[in-house]
Amino acid sequence: MLALEKVHTHYGPIEALKGVSLNVEKGEIVTLIGANGAGKSTLLMTVCGDPRASSGTITWKNEDITQTETAKIMRSGLAVVPEGRRVFSAMTVEENLAMGGFFNNTNYDERMEHVLELFPRLKERFSQRAGTMSGGEQQMLAIGRALMSNPELLILDEPSLGLAPIIINQIFEIIEMLRGEGTTIFLVEQNANQALRLADRGYVLEHGKIVLEDTGQNLLVNEDVRKAYLGG
Amino acid sequence: MQSRFSSAALAAGVTLILGFMVLGISFSVEGVVPTLEVSESHKIIGLLIGAGLVFLLQYFRAEVSKVTTKMKGDGQAHELPAFMRTEKQQRVLAFWAVGALLLFPFLSSRGAVDIATLTLIYVMLGLGLNVVVGLAGLLDLGYVGFYAVGAYSYALLNLYFDMSFWMALPIAGALAALFGYLLGFPVLRLRGDYLAIVTLGFGEIIRILLNNWTELTGGPNGIARIPKPTLFGLEFSRRPSEEGATTFHEFFGISYSSEYKVIFLYLMALLLVLLTIYVIRRLVRMPIGRAWEALREDDIACRSLGLNPTNIKLGAFTIGASFAGFAGSFFAARQGFISPESFTFIESAIILAIVVLGGMGSQLGVVLAACAMTILPEMAREFDEYRMLLFGLMMVLMMIWRPQGLLPMKRPHLELKRD
């Protein structure tokens, strides 16, 4: 469904991605793990078209989107939960969710109901300002907001960032539930252990290059991965 | 105790020294020799009283700040008083307010109506800039440029094409909007300080262009004898400007009075302001209004949701500019004379001050602030040379007591009841 083919991305003279190829098939959970500065976020942002890939092609639903406008990409059935949540803190939960469905107004009520079912906590906080909620609740809101556009592919950028272990577990449970509904998920994580447990397949990114590609289970027991990312 | 006394004494001392420079010495010319002399005794006494006040304020600072923090509130929007909380009560209140404003010109003096008209122009400008600064969060320091575009549009269209005010009004708004669009296109990629500087430059470019393009605009001489608006073709002058036309007083068979014109201009300004308020209220409740707000909060989140920040900002810029255009053409019609001097940077600064003083994004706040900013300097005229000093003092006090503005924006949604 989403495929990157030898993608290079530069920040000025610095090459952040050095020929990355990967693909995500329909119905899969694919995870991308890597250390700080490996280029995980850059890869995601390149998919969204900001920054642009300097060479290589990105295909989404059999269409080349390498040079497509960011806004257009984001309206084509692909939703991103940005790193660090980025909810609209002065707006209420309801308004945040409404922003998620800004461009896709079909079945608005149904989708709203669905999101509130997935996250009962958001229902309790429906009229509360997003900025007054806890980090975990904000992360749920960020995911809910992304789901409001009814995406075919959900991209999550470090959803466990800065959350307590118990909340992280909840978030991963929800990701699993979404898989059950048939949403394709591309998960970028530093929390390799949990991400790999959940994922069908995984990629390991190091210094802008994919160094390993395997099923989640295999990566989990891989000696190198264990050493580098899972603490021995 | 010791330090409390000494710091208060120090503050009083500084006040005395600084105040003496401004008030204590006067400068006069005797023949050709400029001389400095100590001012009259009442000024010195006033200065001493002022220093005493500063001393007391500093000495009882803890007690004073207790009162001020109470007034400051929790930094959040204040609760409205009980009689204007529900939508219905607000509507009734707004109805009465409009009624009072409609009656006002018939019950007060000509001078008061004139100032009120000026205030309404500033209300309109404040509301327009509020869309750009308060709602979309784009700091625009060159807003007066669009005001000038509006004013000159009417003046020039009338001069060269003999166009009436009512025909020129929409064109002036559209032209100002076009300028907003053209300026916004390249600059809205910038943010914060950079945007402010570029817009500041744009305001100046417009003014300097008007000043130097003498063949078209008359340069620093300005354009004079711009006709006043008419009521369905009825003029408000003593005699019709053209042969065969009727004037307002002739048509209604009443004797001529120059007051009709003033009242008519006031009512027109009021109508324009009400229209502006209505349009912006609707816009805020539309998706574009929510997008402005979202964009002000988080640019990246907006992009991740597929919003195009440049287009949304451009929308705010264009709409804000068009209101300045309307205000400008009304200003030209009211003054009857415009020159580039009316559109200096200080105007931009005043309009921006209105928005900030009122509380960013809040319409009612902007209206109140516009009244304060135009009426207070008028009322303080008796203090002549100290007028601006007084104005500055007011601003400083505002910063201390209500840094979030007079009436900060109350977002149009319901809060959960907490019991």
Q: Are B408 and B360 in contact (CB under 8 A)?
A: yes
Mean per-residue pLDDT, B21-32: 76
> pLDDT tens digit string along A173-186?
999 999 888 899 99
Write down the pLDDT at residue B72.
58
Alpha-helix residue ranges (DSSP H) falling in A58-203: 70-74, 93-100, 108-118, 120-124, 135-147, 165-180, 192-198
Nearest to B312 by CA among B80, B136, B169, B82: B136
* Interatomic CA distance for residues A79 and A155, integer angstroms: 6
The alpha carbon of residue B188 is apart from the nearest alpha carbon of chain A, in Å, by: 16
Contacts of B411 in chain A (CB under 8 A): 90-91
How far, in whole angstroms, is CA B171 from its chain's centroid?
23
The alpha carbon of residue A139 is apart from the nearest alpha carbon of chain B, in Å, by: 13
Nearest to A127 among B297, B301, B414 (CB): B414
* Interatomic CA distance for residues B184 and B110, integer angstroms: 41
Band (pLDDT 50/70/90 cuts) for residue B358 is: confident
Write down the pLDDT at residue A156.
94
| Average pLDDT in chain B | 84
Mean per-residue pLDDT, A72-91: 91
Q: Which of B29-33, B129-133, B316-320 has the lowest mean pLDDT?
A: B29-33
Any CB–CB contact under 8 A between B293 and chain A?
yes
With a cut of 50, say whether residue B325 has pLDDT above it.
yes
With a cut of 90, say whether residue A19 has pLDDT above it.
yes
With a cut of 60, say whether residue B340 has pLDDT above it.
yes
> pLDDT tens digit string along B111-162?
889 899 999 999 999 999 999 998 888 999 999 999 999 999 999 999 999 8
Sequence-separated (6 or more) residues with CB below 8 Å from residue A36: A190
CATH architecture of A1-77+152-161+185-231: 3-Layer(aba) Sandwich (3.40)
Structure tokens at B38: 């100590």
pLDDT > 70 in chain B, percent: 91
- For B71-91, letters b (16+ CB in 10 Å) and e give eeeeeebeeeeeeeeeeeeee
Write down the pLDDT at residue B107.
85
Structure tokens at A210: 């994919």
* Interatomic CA distance for residues B63 and B59, integer angstroms: 9
Contacts of A87 in chain B (CB under 8 A): 298, 301
* Interatomic CA distance for residues B275 and B325, integer angstroms: 14
Q: Are B329 and B164 in contact (CB under 8 A)?
A: no
Write down the pLDDT at residue B186.
84
Mapping DSSP onto H, E and C, the string for chain B reads CHHHHHHHHHHHHHHHHHHHHHHHEEEEEECCEEEEEECCHHHHHHHHHHHHHHHHHHHCHHHHHHHHHHHHCCCCCCCCCHHHCCHHHHHHHHHHHHHHHHHHHHHCCHHHHHHHHHHHHHHHHHHHHHHHHHHCCCCCCCHHHHHHHHHHHHHHHHHHHCCCHHHHHHHHHHHHHHHHHHHHHHHCCCCHHHHHHHHHHHHHHHHHHHHHCHHHHCHHHCECCCCCCCECCEECCCCCCCCCCCEHHHHHCCCCCCHHHHHHHHHHHHHHHHHHHHHHHHHHHCHHHHHHHHHHHCHHHHHHCCCCHHHHHHHHHHHHHHHHHHHHHHHHHHHCCECHHHHCHHHHHHHHHHHHHHCCCCHHHHHHHHHHHHHHHHHHHHHHHHHHHHHHHHHHHHHHHCCCCCCCCCCCCCCCCCC
Chain A neighbours among B 260-289 (CB < 8 Å)? Answer: 287
The alpha carbon of residue B66 is apart from the nearest alpha carbon of chain A, in Å, by: 27
Whether residue B298 and residue A128 make contact (CB cut-off 8 A), yes or no, is no
The alpha carbon of residue B95 is apart from the nearest alpha carbon of chain A, in Å, by: 30
The alpha carbon of residue B297 is apart from the nearest alpha carbon of chain A, in Å, by: 6
Q: Chain B residue closest to A89 (CA)?
A: B297
Q: Are B223 and B231 in contact (CB under 8 A)?
A: no
Whether residue A102 and residue B287 make contact (CB cut-off 8 A), yes or no, is yes
Mean per-residue pLDDT, A29-41: 91
Contacts of A72 in chain B (CB under 8 A): 306
Sequence-separated (6 or more) residues with CB below 8 Å from residue A214: A201, A202, A222
Q: Chain A residue closest to B415 (CA)?
A: A127
With a cut of 80, say whether residue A15 has pLDDT above it.
yes
First to last CA, chain A: 34
CB atoms within 10 A of CB A107: 12
Contacts of A74 in chain B (CB under 8 A): 303-306
With a cut of 80, say whether residue B364 has pLDDT above it.
yes
Contacts of A81 in chain B (CB under 8 A): 304
Q: Chain B residue closest to A86 (CA)?
A: B301
> pLDDT tens digit string along B70-120?
665 544 445 555 556 677 777 888 888 888 888 888 888 888 898 999 999
This complex has an ipTM of: 0.89
* Interatomic CA distance for residues B287 and B305, integer angstroms: 14
Q: Chain B residue closest to A96 (CA)?
A: B294
Band (pLDDT 50/70/90 cuts) for residue B67 is: confident
Write down the pLDDT at residue B244.
67
Contacts of A128 in chain B (CB under 8 A): 416
Q: Which of A188-197, B167-176, B391-400 has the lowest mean pLDDT?
A: B391-400
Q: Are B168 and B158 in contact (CB under 8 A)?
A: yes
Q: Where are the domains of chain A?
A: 1-77+152-161+185-231, 84-151
Any CB–CB contact under 8 A between B42 and chain A?
no
* Interatomic CA distance for residues B184 and B311, integer angstroms: 10
Nearest to A74 among B291, B306, B414 (CB): B306
Band (pLDDT 50/70/90 cuts) for residue A93 is: very high
Write down the pLDDT at residue B83.
59
Nearest to A183 by CA among A3, A29, A24: A29
Nearest to A102 among B306, B413, B415 (CB): B306
The CA–CA distances, whole Å, from A93 to A145, B149, B177 equal 9, 42, 34
**Residue A213, phi then psi, degrees to nearest 5:** -145, 125
With a cut of 70, say whether residue B327 has pLDDT above it.
yes
Nearest-10 crossing angle of helices B2-19, B41-59: 150
> pLDDT tens digit string along B229-286?
878 777 777 777 766 677 777 777 777 777 888 888 999 999 999 999 999 999 988 8
The alpha carbon of residue B78 is apart from the nearest alpha carbon of chain A, in Å, by: 15
The alpha carbon of residue A186 is apart from the nearest alpha carbon of chain B, in Å, by: 15
Chain B neighbours among A 147-176 (CB < 8 Å)? Answer: 149
Write down the pLDDT at residue B75.
46
With a cut of 80, say whether residue B13 has pLDDT above it.
yes
Mean per-residue pLDDT, A94-114: 88
Write down the pLDDT at residue B302.
92
- Residue A13 exposed, middle or buried by CB count within 10 Å (0-12, 13-18, 19+): exposed
With a cut of 60, say whether residue B418 has pLDDT above it.
no
Write down the pLDDT at residue B18.
85
Whether residue B293 and residue A88 make contact (CB cut-off 8 A), yes or no, is yes
Whether residue A71 and residue B303 make contact (CB cut-off 8 A), yes or no, is yes
* Interatomic CA distance for residues B66 and B85, integer angstroms: 28
Any CB–CB contact under 8 A between A202 and chain B?
no
